[in-house]
Amino acid sequence: MKQLYRSYDESTKIFKKFQENYPNNFKMESIGKTWEKRDINLITISKDIKSADSKPALFYTGTIHAREWVGHELGIEFATYILENLENDPTLQAYLEKTTIYMVPCANPDGYEYSKNHFSFWRKNRRVNVDGSYGVDLNRNFPIGYVKSTATTSNVYGGPEPFSEPETRALRDFVECHENITIALDYHSQGNVFFPAHDFRHEDTIDTTDMNTLCANMAEEIRKISGREYGIHQGKPPTKLISGSGREFYHSLGIISSVVEVGTRNISDYMDDMNENLREHIPALLAAVKEVPNYSKNNSVSRVNSFEITEIGSHHVNLKWDYEINKDVFFEIYRSRQDKNFCNNSNLIVRTSNLEFSDINLTSNKDYYYNIRVVNKKTFEKSPFYPQIKLRTDCDYDEFSRTYYANSKNTGYVAENLNDNSKHFGVNSLFVGIDENKGISYAIVTVDVKSLGEGALIKDASFNLYPINRVSTTIEKYGEWNTGIVNQETMGDITNYDDVENMEILQYVGRPTQSHQLTQGIWRAWNFSGMECKVLQEVADKYEKIVFRIEGPTELIIGRTKQMMQWDIGYGKFGYGLTYRPRLELTYTIKPTITELYPKAVYTVSKESVISDEITAGYDEQGRKIYSTFEFNLSSLPPYNSTMITKAYFELNSTKIYIKDDIRFHLEFVDENIEQNYEDITNREIIQNVGYDVSATELKNNQTQHFPFDSFSEITLNEKLKAKADISFVLKPTSSKKANKSKSVSWEVKNRSLSPKLIIEHIPKRRFPLEKVKNVKLTQENGKIKISWDNPDDSDFVGVKVIKNAYREPYSTHDGQKLYSGVDDYTFDDFGAKDINKYYAVFAYDEVPNYSEPVIIEYKGK
């Protein structure tokens, strides 16, 4: 079906026709000639072609690599779509009111024709090199990071010098004299991934968030059409930086710039796949068109001056930012649960004119991402984004958190037809799926969870893998990737294919990842359900390690050679580094200790008398209330600093004398300074009601009544523990009847098992973080920036975490790039650019972990 792809001549004809039919909206021009004397077509689409160059513009390029036909084809389809719909589509009209579209659908016409007619795998242009070989990789012929080489037959030969080729010179000349270009998208195949400009360095730039968000908004449009997920990968450490690409050249001119890798093969089957790819990329392109004016140099709204976290709790976050106050603007805050997510109406959480925002009702121990932009109320222009905030909410009062990484020695993959499977452990990548030559491949990931300790109760878990590459997953919408917990009794040798294939899976985890969800640059998570957490718990308790098997499709479609996914192991020469190891994230609590407290004193307080050691509540003969009071002392509980009360309830047992009337009883947590007299009791200060009230009828059915504490009462109880204070409760009758006389219920006191009790569940947990580290220093060693410090001298010290951020002082242990976590007292910033200012933050932590305040040190770029 490849013949459905149009030739270069055909697109030229189509564009000529468009020019005739839509003279006000469409123009084609030649911006240069190729080695084989073909015109390099540039088309302009505008609401008014005469004023096109005065509006901010999108610059589209495609098929700079000859065999990547999608760029040319999508260019034709996109132009067709706009021209055919412009008249009837108000959204399109509004976009084109503000934006011009320039497209070079095929930046390598000679190569494209050669690929179409002679050798479909051809990538370069058709220059005749000095040695008689053919071709320069045009996308290595731009100057940023250009690599000089004499390997002319290489597929990535970059030419004798930057801009040695007429095709790249044509692009350069056009872009350099069109300063209205704000976004450049270069279309390639394959991978279902966006590669935003990396600025030829391993650190985020001020516009990294802008580029990631642009790509994510485009990706979301694609997902809406087909369910297909696109990755976003800026090519950060330690992957190879792409030298001499057009993307980096455009970015060097201040243009928001990305490569778009479409589909799963260089040349997809048109009817089956390309069709859908074209369809889904049209709304994606329109999402980019929508953003074009916001990146214009004439945009009146600039990004905020700062964007910071001021407080993090287990369920809330406070943010602030700085901007010159101006009544014409407001701020938009977007919140996401995953990195590199879109910013659209579905995750816009507030529009505000304030310079701060408090986000509440968050989930504890979870990652959150915040983005901010400024909007002009009158023109609706939007500013660029400030660099994204990343954070993790604190653990809840009863929670602990652990991140366990794969144990390298016992993590690897086995392939059916290879006999050196043991060599795949501890290095490089996990290959999972099927390949004509290798056969079926499974990955094994082993995680040691010994430090979890006895009594840990797993509440929540996720297993995470970092996708390196999906290039070998070449079949569209075919197969799924599952993760299962292995029964270690049946495991055998994890480096032996047959043993791995036959091992029993106790439980698959979460939902499978479908082939069209595979991509790169964005972590893939398998989230455990409550039931799956139970299995995880049992295995952790029994073996102190978890073994996962990851499996993909086990059969191929006829004529196709592979459907194989590559996940990172983090270790080894080709791994992306320790940050990218497979990991298991756990939130857990500890089996509580239950302490029953008996009252120090109980009284029945009526108008007439105060009687000790008796509990009666109700109404006296005059209809006045009779109260009972209880006093407890908390000093038998363990110390406040290392104890958390996780649950509390009050137990009361009624005697077996019941009344029929509509009387209810409720229990109040009251200020402990209450005096035992009628006056004081009736004017008591109530802290909170405990549990729900019980009716006289309920007492008949249930002699024992439990009054559970709500969260506020639990917090108060925790505070009282700090002071080792006495605490008091009042049992009070209520009724909807006007007159109740001589109606009361008595409750057991003397019989110990039926006596009133305060039942408190508590766990050992440090409440406060450790001391900060001391003497944080920056030095340089072996050409790298070295950060060193003194660890706190504390037996609860577990480690330090070092975070780097170029745009703000990291307040959260997640707000930036993690450089180190462990017990050492130094680390290196392996990929740190020495010419850029940045902050390093060092946090000390205990086993909860509670993180100390960071010690922040600023690096001044030279």
Q: Contact positions toward Zn ion, by CB under 5 A?
A: 65, 68, 188
Helix (H) / strand (E) element for 18: namely helix 8-21
Based on CB atoms, which residue is closest to Zn ion, 68 or 809?
A: 68
Closest CB 142 distance from Zn ion, rounded Å = 13
Instruction: State which residue, 180 or 243, has the beta carbon closest to Zn ion.
Output: 243
CB of 262 to Zn ion, least distance (A): 10
Question: What letters, b where the CB count within 10 A reaches 16 and e where it falls short, cover 699-724?
Answer: beeeeebebebeeebbebbbebbeee
d(CA 261, CA 194): 6
Burial of 247 (0-12, 13-18, 19+ CB in 10 A): buried
Tokens representing 490 are 């049946």
Shortest Å distance, C-beta 200 to Zn ion = 18
Residue 322 has a CB neighbour count (10 Å cut-off) of: 11
Q: How far apart are CA 440 and CA 436, in angstroms?
A: 9
- Measured from the CB atom, is 111 or 479 closer to Zn ion? 111
Say if CB 433 and CB 496 are below 8 A apart.
no
In terms of CB distance, is 134 or 588 closer to Zn ion? 134
Q: With respect to Zn ion, which residue has the nearer C-beta, 195 or 321?
A: 195
Question: Peptide bond before 708: cis, by omega within 30 degrees of 0?
Answer: no
Quick check: helix, strand or coil at residue 91? Answer: helix
Residue that the structure tokens 């660029």 belong to: 384
Q: Which is nearer to Zn ion, 188 or 236 (CB)?
A: 188
- Output the smallest distance, CB 712 to Zn ion, in A: 59
Q: What minimum distance in Å lies between the beta carbon of 62 and Zn ion? A: 10
Give the number of other CB atoms < 10 A from CB of residue 298.
Answer: 8
Q: Pairing state of beta strands 439-448 and 412-415?
A: antiparallel
* Cβ nearer to Zn ion, comparing 188 with 808: 188
Sign of CA dihedral 279, 292, 103, 231: negative
* 377 in Cβ contact with 329 (< 8 Å): yes
Q: Categorise residue 684: left if φ over 0, alpha if ψ from -120 to 50, beta otherwise.
A: beta
Q: Which is nearer to Zn ion, 65 or 757 (CB)?
A: 65
The least CB distance from residue 285 to Zn ion, in Å, is 18
Residue 833, both tokens: 């650019």
Q: How far apart are CA 436 and CA 560, in angstroms?
A: 8
What b/e sequence results for 650-661 when a residue is b if at least 16 CB atoms lie within 10 Å of its CB, and e otherwise? bebbbbeeebee
Q: Shortest gap between Cβ of 63 and Zn ion (angstroms)?
A: 9
DSSP label of 266? S
Q: Measured from the CB atom, is 28 or 138 closer to Zn ion?
A: 138
Residue 140 or 202: which CB sits closer to Zn ion? 140
Q: How far is the CB of 446 from Zn ion (least distance, A)?
A: 37
By beta-carbon distance, which residue lies closest to Zn ion? Answer: 188
Reduced to 3 states (helix: H, G, I; strand: E, B; else coil), residue 288 is helix
What's the rounded Cα separation, in Å, for the pair 581 and 597? 48
Our CB check for Zn ion shows the closer of 65 and 202 to be 65
DSSP state for residue 235 in the 8-state scheme: -
Length of the chain equals 862
Nearer to Zn ion, 199 or 261 (CB): 261
On the question of a cis peptide bond just before residue 166, with omega within 30 degrees of 0, the verdict is no
Which residue, among 48, 70, 52, has the nearest Cα to 61 in the 3D structure?
70
**Do 272 and 278 meet the contact criterion of CB atoms below 8 Å apart?**
no
* Residue 691 DSSP SS3: strand
Query: Rounded to an integer, what distance in angstroms lies between the CA atom of residue 856 and that of residue 858?
Result: 7
Q: How distant is the alpha carbon of residue 787 from its chain centre? A: 27
Torsion of Cα atoms, 730 then 734 then 739 then 742, to 10°: -50
Closer residue to Zn ion, CB minimum distance, 188 or 804: 188
Compute the half-sphere exposure of residue 851: CA atoms within 13 Å on the CB side of its CA. 25
The candidate with the shortest Cα–Cα distance to 733, out of 681, 671, 809, 768, is 681
Q: Tell me, what DSSP letter sits at residue 270?
A: I
Please, which residue, 64 or 284, has the CB nearer to Zn ion?
A: 64
CB of 162 to Zn ion, least distance (A): 18
Identity of the residue, 261 or 668, whose beta carbon is nearer to Zn ion in the bound complex: 261
Residue 822 CB, shortest distance to Zn ion, in Å, is: 39
Burial 767-790 (b: 16+ CB within 10 A, else e): eebbebbeebeeeeeeeebebbbe
CB of 59 to Zn ion, least distance (A): 17
CB 67 → Zn ion: shortest distance, Å?
8
Cβ 284 to Zn ion, closest distance in Å? Answer: 18
In angstroms, give the least distance from the CB of 291 to Zn ion: 23
Nearest distance in Å: CB 173, Zn ion: 22
Contact by Cβ (8 Å): 503, 495: no
Min dist CB 34 to Zn ion, Å, is 18
Contacts of 15 (CB under 8 A, 6+ apart): 26, 28, 41, 43, 79
**Based on CB atoms, which residue is closest to Zn ion, 116 or 801?**
116
